[in-house]
Structure 1
Amino acid sequence: MEPTIKILIYIHAFFGGVGLLSGIGSISVKKGSELHKKMGRIFTYSMLTSSSIALVISQMPNHKNQFLLLIGLFTTYLVLAGNRALTFNSRYKTKATLLDKSISGLMLAASIIMISIGAQGFFKELPNAILYAFFGGFGLFLTLGDFKTFKTFSQNKNAWLTSHLGRMVGALIASVTAFLVTAINIGSVVVWIAPTLLGTLYITYWNVKLRPKTNKKKAPK
């Protein structure tokens, strides 16, 4: 069993590395360009493969890891939701589908579980309590944003774009964090949280830039 797990870990790490490089490349080139789309597709398939394998490893004998399981679910949600956001740019789509709601709903439930574990951890002084609370809160914030977007995307023409950007950058944040923690073996709480904070600043910048401009008419004298 152990040799099989080791092979899975290598495959997980390989696709995680491909996802990291393609993700950095995707945000570095012109948004909407053919190269951006191509790198985005590579990023999507790589991250889904890597996170899916992480879910399997987290349940294997001698490797059971509840936190890895939840982070794997979080990453899977980010990639899926980020790609589903692109479908809201279609003029034929007038409302969120069951698939859209299921992806966000499952992550909403997982986020509540993470927050609950984190809250219990603070009282029982369990390890990683702050990380459970932090990522659970982040997931709750994103999924509630999803359901808000489902209701208002037809009124806000850039809703699909800000949602896509936020979720895909979030998945890249997960990739960067995994690289720092596993490949470089830096496991401090600061390293876990810093990429998220920096990525959030990047997302905020683009959200402000993409915000629809309102034309204010001057009052007649």
Structure 2
Amino acid sequence: MEWLVSGLIFLHVTSGAVALVTFWLPLLLPKGKQAHRVTGRVFAISMIVCGVIAMVLASFHLTSPQWVEGAADTRLQLGWMMLYLGLLATVLVLFGLKTVRNKGRHHLYKTTWILFLHGALALLAAWVFWLGWSQRELLLIGVAFIAFLMVPGNLRFILRKPVAAPGKLRREWLYQHFTSMIGAGIAGYSAFLSFGAAMYMPTHAFNPYLWTIPTILGVSFMMWLSKRQPRYD
């Protein structure tokens, strides 16, 4: 069993490192070009692999304490946060890829699996928020708000009927694409800083200032891109 855990950790760290590095390339490269598509695909695949493995490792934190070091309270908090951030990154990347595939064909977005994943993410975010509130952990409260910000916007886009502006073509799918990918990046960097601190600086494992760095930068970048990328042609 130990070899399995070690192998999963290695794959998780490797795929996470690739995702964190390649996250910036699609944002900075010319949109729609081959370099943008290739680097974006590398980011998406590595982030999904990292997120899925994070959820598997989280199950060890929550159900198999003999394989995880640390106090019980810290182990459970890290386990729930790892499960949440893994699901958050995975759902946002999958939805970001779906927007590129479907573009303006709005009727293709309302699928059972994408609605289920967003619902599961919302419930898990609420649980993490409650844990943070009950245990006075600002980090858990803060990371829960990433989903509180992203899920309603995605569901509003999925469920409503598109209404085109007079003489213009709506391009909100593109806006949803880059906000979802940036949201996944925020989740990745939040996990990197939080769990890196837990591993190398245990006294700062739940330092709220660590997760605010990627959140502030990511949200600021979303606002900047939203001004550069209009929602209408």
RMSD: 2.5
Identity in percent: 24
Gap change, CA 1:21 and 1:212, over 3 Å in 2 = closer
* Alignment partners' CA distance in 2, 1:86 and 1:147: 17
Matched, 1:179 2:187: no
Q: Which amino acid aligns with 2:143?
A: F
Q: Secondary structure at the match of 1:95?
A: helix
- Alignment-derived partner of residue 57 in structure 2: 57
Q: Secondary structure at the match of 2:59?
A: coil
**Residues 155-174 of structure 1: per-residue CA shift (max 9 Å, x gap):** 26220111000011111222
* Alignment partners' CA distance in 1, 2:82 and 2:12: 13
Gap change, CA 1:132 and 1:33, over 3 Å in 2 = same
Q: Decide whether the 8 Å contact of 1:54 with 1:69 is kept in 2.
A: yes
- Alignment-derived partner of residue 219 in structure 1: none
Q: Normalised by the size of structure 2, how large is the TM-score?
A: 0.78
Matched, 1:30 2:30: yes
- Alignment-derived partner of residue 20 in structure 2: 20
- Alignment-derived partner of residue 7 in structure 2: 7
- Alignment-derived partner of residue 199 in structure 1: 218
Q: How far apart are residue 94 of structure 1 and its match?
A: 4.0
Structure 1 unmatched runs, 5+: 215-221
- Alignment-derived partner of residue 92 in structure 2: 78
142, 149, 170: which one aligns with 2:157: 149
* Alignment partners' CA distance in 2, 1:73 and 1:21: 20
Moved runs in structure 1, 4+ residues, more than 6 A? none
Gap change, CA 1:120 and 1:26, over 3 Å in 2 = closer
Q: Secondary structure at the match of 1:43?
A: helix
Q: Secondary structure at the match of 2:31?
A: coil
Q: How far apart are residue 106 of structure 1 and its match?
A: 2.7
Q: Decide whether the 8 Å contact of 2:193 with 2:210 is kept in 1.
A: yes
Matched, 1:95 2:107: yes
* Alignment partners' CA distance in 2, 1:194 and 1:104: 30
Q: Decide whether the 8 Å contact of 2:85 with 2:188 is kept in 1.
A: no
- Alignment-derived partner of residue 107 in structure 1: 118
Gap change, CA 1:132 and 1:96, over 3 Å in 2 = farther
- How many residues are paired up? 208
Range 26-35 or range 170-179, more displaced: 170-179
* Alignment partners' CA distance in 2, 1:29 and 1:134: 30
Range 179-188 or range 156-165, more displaced: 179-188
Q: Decide whether the 8 Å contact of 1:118 with 1:133 is kept in 2.
A: yes
Q: Decide whether the 8 Å contact of 1:104 with 1:143 is kept in 2.
A: no
Q: Decide whether the 8 Å contact of 2:172 with 2:232 is kept in 1.
A: no
